[in-house]
Amino acid sequence: MEKQKLALPTDRVTIRHVAEHAGVSVAAVSKVLRNAYGVSDALRSKVENSIDLLKYRPSTAARAMRGRTHTVGILVVELTNPFVPVLLEGIDAGLEQANFKAMVGVGRAASKIETSMIESMIDNRMDGLILIGPQISGAVIAEYAKQIPIVAIAHHEPQAAFYDTVNSDDFRGAQVAVEALYARGHRDIAMLSYDRTGNPGSVVAVVREAGYRAAMQRLGLEQWTRMLRLPHPSEPRDTELAALLAQPDRPRAVFAWSDLDGLRLLSACHDAGIDVPGELAVIGYDDCSVAKLPLVNLSSIDQSPAEIGARASELLLSRIEGRADAQHVLVEPTAVLRRSI
């Protein structure tokens, strides 16, 4: 039996007609029309063939009627870092002044989830996106930025031309941490970081590691320079921390790339009966709320998350208003010294 052919519409052709003719969803047609990242050649060919056959032309009037939604999408890699809520508050405060609302999605440090959520936010007609600690590459972000205004936080790519970035000056912040330990008389200073396999070079840990190495060299401490790597922050690390503290050549001071691991290191020291700072000095990065607790007293680098958030919303709003030139902002970090060093 011959397969029944779809009748061509006789009135104005819409995107729904194209989707029906191609045998795909309206969202799929939309992605082809705006040249979205990740569209397969097969899907593109199928949709473009239907567009040609139906002589479909997107309605300029319909696009104009949509206008702005006054909503901004915020993509967060993970919510466990106590730095993030303060950052979100700063973003929201800046958006609220312009009568914009934010919708937050969690990418869980998985590139496929991140890209899917970005595309969903675009399909839901967000006016712009703020990406916090994206694990996708700058090249991928740039492709999306051709479709929608984007500002990236905790993503170092100062050469990016299609989107903006706002960061703590992580290179300088790491140097400040080393200098604080040096000023207290420490020379055997190691850095505690993590296995960055699979992470793009734009992640903050890369820049902080570079700042640590630069400070150690400038202070003439090359012979003590060493990187202590734990598993990725999403994985258990108690065993590795205990082994690190049991080493006979354990360092005298440690700069932890983040309070996430600085706090874990303090806990491991307590379990092992190691006096902080008598036997081991520790400084972290983020100056999170837990670090400030009297029973914790973790020295840390304050990267002013509220200011970072406010600057990000400011840049995104100006992008939405039509600014095209890329801007890359670094916020000055400061050391907050407590009992741990």
153-197: pLDDT as tens digits: 999 999 999 999 999 999 999 999 999 999 999 999 999 999 988
Domain with CATH 1.10.260.40 in the chain: 15-64
Of 78-82, 204-208, 234-238, least confident by mean pLDDT is 78-82
Checking if the pLDDT of 312 tops 70, the result is: yes
Mean pLDDT of the chain: 89
Rounded CA gap, 208 and 232, in Å? 16
pLDDT at 8: 57
Q: pLDDT higher for 7 or 184? A: 184
Element (H, E) at 31: helix 26-33
pLDDT in tens, 107-153: 765 667 888 889 889 888 899 999 999 988 899 999 999 999 999 99
Reported as a pLDDT band with limits 50, 70 and 90, residue 58 is low
DSSP-derived 3-state class of residue 137: coil
Say how far residue 52 (Cα) sits from the centre of its chain: 40
Domain with CATH 3.40.50.2300 in the chain: 69-168+305-330, 170-304
pLDDT at 13: 80
Length of the chain: 341
Checking if the pLDDT of 1 tops 80, the result is: no
User: Is there a contact between 56 and 15 (Cβ–Cβ < 8 Å)?
Assistant: yes
CATH numeric code, 69-168+305-330 = 3.40.50.2300
User: Is there a contact between 181 and 190 (Cβ–Cβ < 8 Å)?
Assistant: no
pLDDT at 230: 94
Structure tokens at 267: 């806990």
pLDDT at 63: 46
pLDDT at 88: 94
pLDDT at 39: 83
Beta carbons within 10 angstroms of residue 275's beta carbon: 9
Nearest alpha-carbon partner for 335 in 192, 174, 164:
174
Give the fold, CATH level 3, of 170-304. Answer: Rossmann fold (3.40.50)
Q: DSSP for 43-110, please give it.
A: HHHHHHHHHHHHT----HHHHHHH----EEEEEES-S-STHHHHHHHHHHHHHHHTT-EEEEEE-TT-
User: Is there a contact between 181 and 281 (Cβ–Cβ < 8 Å)?
Assistant: yes
pLDDT at 15: 85
Of 18-27, 163-172, 291-300, 325-334, least confident by mean pLDDT is 18-27
* DSSP-assigned beta bridge partners for residue 152: 131, 165
15-64 has CATH 3.40.640.10 classification: no
Average pLDDT on 269-284 reads: 97
